[in-house]
Chains A and B, each alone.
Chain A
Amino acid sequence: GENVEQHPSTLSVQEGDSAVIKCTYSDSASNYFPWYKQELGKRPQLIIDIRSNVGEKKDQRIAVTLNKTAKHFSLHITETQPEDSAVYFCAARSPGTASKLTFGTGTRLQVTL
């Protein structure tokens, strides 16, 4: 089955700096890669996603890049703000596995003033 590795497990940046979280996946047939943000005590919520036919996607301060050859995708957050502090999860979906998303182990991002 699919295996997703996520790094780093914790990340501390100063407000205004950029943050990058990286994930690798094992199934070359995986075709959908979402990123979820989970604030303390809350449910995970989708912040951005990318499909395998696209190399990059941006939404304001957030961007995701996908390298299918390397089976690698990354989340980039620019001009970080304190409200970006949360746990971020990457995930991958293999085709033919219905609703199965395989998640990474999460990155705790702390944005300090």
Chain B
Amino acid sequence: EAQVTQNPRYLITVTGKKLTVTCSQNMNHEYMSWYRQDPGLGLRQIYYSMNVEVTDKGDVPEGYKVSRKEKRNFPLILESPSPNQTSLYFCASSLKPRTGGYEQYFGPGTRLTVT
């Protein structure tokens, strides 16, 4: 089954404790993105990746890191989480636009609480 998976789905942590949220897709998509969803703010892009070893900042990259060492995986790293990073996080993937791959496929989401 074609899908985007994320782990963990729920996470409660404390300020300053490094964490990683994993994302994996099995559709051979080139593009992958991370979004955070907050009430009244919609979905805001954190980072995106156009291919292996190619990443760039989105609209709200502060406090986050990413890596793309393999095509299927795109982990989100919070080196020193703070309470303002409490949010619902979505990973998404798509094909390259020039091959018609505009649709973004979202993972199930990770609800993160930082106390």
Tell me the A residues contacting B by CB distance below 8 Å.
1, 6, 9, 32, 34, 42-46, 49, 89, 91, 93, 98-106
Contact = CB atoms under 8 A, between A and B. Distances in A.
A46 B108 CA distance: 14
A91 B43 CA distance: 9
Contacts, number: 58
A100 B45 contact: yes
Interface string B48-89: 111000001011000000000000000000000000000000
A106 B45 contact: no
Interface residues of B, number: 26
Nearest to A101: B104
Contacts of B103: 34, 46, 49
7 contacts: A32-B102, A42-B108, A43-B90, A89-B43, A91-B43, A100-B48, A103-B42
B94 A43 contact: no
B11 to A, nearest CB: 16
Nearest to A41: B109
Nearest to A93: B102
A44 B90 contact: yes
